[in-house]
Amino acid sequence: MAHEAIIPEGSAPPLAPYSPGVKVGETVYVSGVLSMDGDGNIVGVNDIKKQTRQVIETIKSVVEAAGGSLSDIAFNQIFLDDLSNYAAMNEVYAEYFSNNPPARYCIRADLVKPEFLVEISSTAHI
């Protein structure tokens, strides 16, 4: 089955060779999203809530560019640089996924740069 790269207008430049999202049939795979603006600048240095909000807004832009919405997300993979940020990340996450939230997991992991506090990857079915 063919796949289509999903690159929303204003996307941050990728840090490696990947697309922000890929649509295969009615499934959208969103790459791991870090807290960056369209120019590649880090948003919310040392602020897990700002970074979580930026990450989810970026995920939203990818899913919407593919024809869906956040409610179409079935699964999220969450990576935190420090589990002490878990509660604050969840506070913002719940603002976006309060009703019928997707399945997910959350683990502690070293991220690509020490300034990044959270990374989320998503799978949506549109």
Give the model's pLDDT for residue 14. 78
Handedness of CA 34, 65, 20, 74 (dihedral sign): positive
Give the number of domains in the chain: 1
What residues pair up with 36 in beta bridges, in sequence order? Answer: 42
d(CA 64, CA 31): 14
Give the model's pLDDT for residue 66. 97
Residue 111 CB neighbour total at 10 angstroms: 16
Q: Determine the straight-line distance between the first and last CA of the chain, rounded to whole angstroms.
A: 16
Residue 100 sits in a domain whose CATH number is 3.30.1330.40
Give the model's pLDDT for residue 76. 98
Per-position pLDDT tens, the chain of length 126:
889 999 998 888 777 888 999 999 999 999 999 999 999 999 999 999 999 999 999 999 999 999 999 999 999 999 999 999 999 999 999 999 999 999 999 999 999 999 999 999 999 999
Q: Which domain holds residue 83?
A: 3-125
Give the model's pLDDT for residue 11. 87
Give the model's pLDDT for residue 1. 82
Assign 3-class secondary structure to the chain. CCEEEECCCCCCCCCCCCCCEEEECCEEEEEEECCECCCCCECCCCCHHHHHHHHHHHHHHHHHHCCCCHHHEEEEEEEECCHHHHHHHHHHHHHHCCCCCCEEEEEECCCCCCCCCEEEEEEEEC
Give the model's pLDDT for residue 98. 92
Residue with tokens 């976006």: 96
